[in-house]
Amino acid sequence: MVDRKKSEGFCNELDKIRIAKIIDNFIWEEPCVTDKNGVCAIFFSGCNLKCSYCQNYEISRGKVGKIYDEDEFIELLKEKEKNNSYFDFITPTHFSNAILNALKKYQPKIPIIWNSSGYESVKMLEKLDKYISIYLLDFKYIEDDLGKRLSHVSNYSTIAKKVLDFCAKKKDVFRDNLMKEGLILRHLVLPGEIKNSLDTLDYLASKYSDRFVSLMSQFTPTPQSPIKRKLSPLEYKIVVNKFLKSFQNGYIQDFDSASEDFIPKFLE
């Protein structure tokens, strides 16, 4: 184990919160958490995965943005909750301890969305759960071998299944057609990995067919990505057909979402 008070971890960060970018009134999340005010999207620097195709690679490799101590982070929450309907904590996992300590001191008046890769510690989520309103979780791979090849962790699927079991305990609560508490599952369809998507949807449908699932087509090749092309229309059609047969609730991303226009400009 690395002592992140002294040395950077696998996430390329120390234990102090570093925020790469904040976007007020962000409207690009799922419709059930997006009203006229949108969300305050807080993009944390670094990541506890090393996805070789990462769309946000400029910040996921760490050391981008401003470092906040607990009190500064609390003041940020107090300021931003005034004009947004939700907080969207994007890739927060590796700062869980610091975020938890801040939330113990101050709980925002608007819901917090925990927007993560699904590669979490259940023990940590048990501590965070009372402060988190909505889990917006990826389920990337059904097989650990694929997670090892593409995200450089040996047990992604094993861990993500346990995390979903825990997060699914939070029941969906809606007011005025907006989710205030609950779980949204995401799956990004990767070019050339259609079997993974079909098998993933089979697994999710076997346990979570009544939960909200968001199918995404937005993969866009980045300079460092080993996947050099976008998803083909036929690949996406095959997965969409499976999705429509498998789930009661959810969202299907437009095929033309695979564009750099949908990737925030982090280094400006």
4 domain-assigned:
no
Which of 21-30, 70-79, 155-164 has the weakest average pLDDT? 21-30
More confident residue, 65 or 165: 165
- Report d(CA 183, CA 157) in Å as an integer: 18
257 domain-assigned:
yes
Residue 27 has pLDDT above 80, yes or no: yes
pLDDT at site 263: 56
Beta strands in the chain (DSSP E): 17-26, 39-44, 66-68, 86-90, 112-116, 134-138, 173-175, 178-188, 212-216, 249-252
181 domain-assigned:
yes
192 domain-assigned:
yes
Residue 123 has pLDDT above 60, yes or no: yes
10 domain-assigned:
no
- How many domains, in total, are found in the chain? 1
Helix axes 156-167, 194-208, angle to 10 degrees: 30
pLDDT at site 253: 94
CA angle, residues 154, 158, 131, in degrees to nearest 5: 110
pLDDT band for position 257 (cuts 50, 70, 90)? low
99 domain-assigned:
yes
pLDDT at site 100: 98
Average predicted confidence (pLDDT) for the chain: 91
| Whether the predicted model's global pTM rises above the 0.75 cut | yes
| Domain ranges, residue 144 | 17-262
Model confidence over 200-213: pLDDT tens digits?
999 999 999 999 99
Query: Nearest CA to 47 among 204, 266, 251, 198?
Result: 266
The pair of structure tokens assigned to 156 is: 């992604």
Average pLDDT over residues 233-247: 97
Report the CATH number at residue 54: 3.20.20.70
How big is the chain by its Cα radius of gyration, in Å? 18
Model confidence over 69-94: pLDDT tens digits?
999 999 999 999 999 999 999 999 99
- Report d(CA 249, CA 25) in Å as an integer: 25
Residue 264 has pLDDT above 80, yes or no: no
11 domain-assigned:
no
Tokens 């979570």 belong to residue: 208
pLDDT at site 265: 58
Residue 12 has pLDDT above 70, yes or no: no
Residue 189 has pLDDT above 70, yes or no: yes
Could you give the C-alpha distances from 150 to 61, 85, 129, 161, 236, in angstroms and in order?
15, 34, 29, 18, 20
- Report d(CA 173, CA 185) in Å as an integer: 15
How crowded is residue 107: how many other Cβ atoms within 10 Å of its Cβ? 12
Residue 227 has pLDDT above 70, yes or no: yes
3 domain-assigned:
no
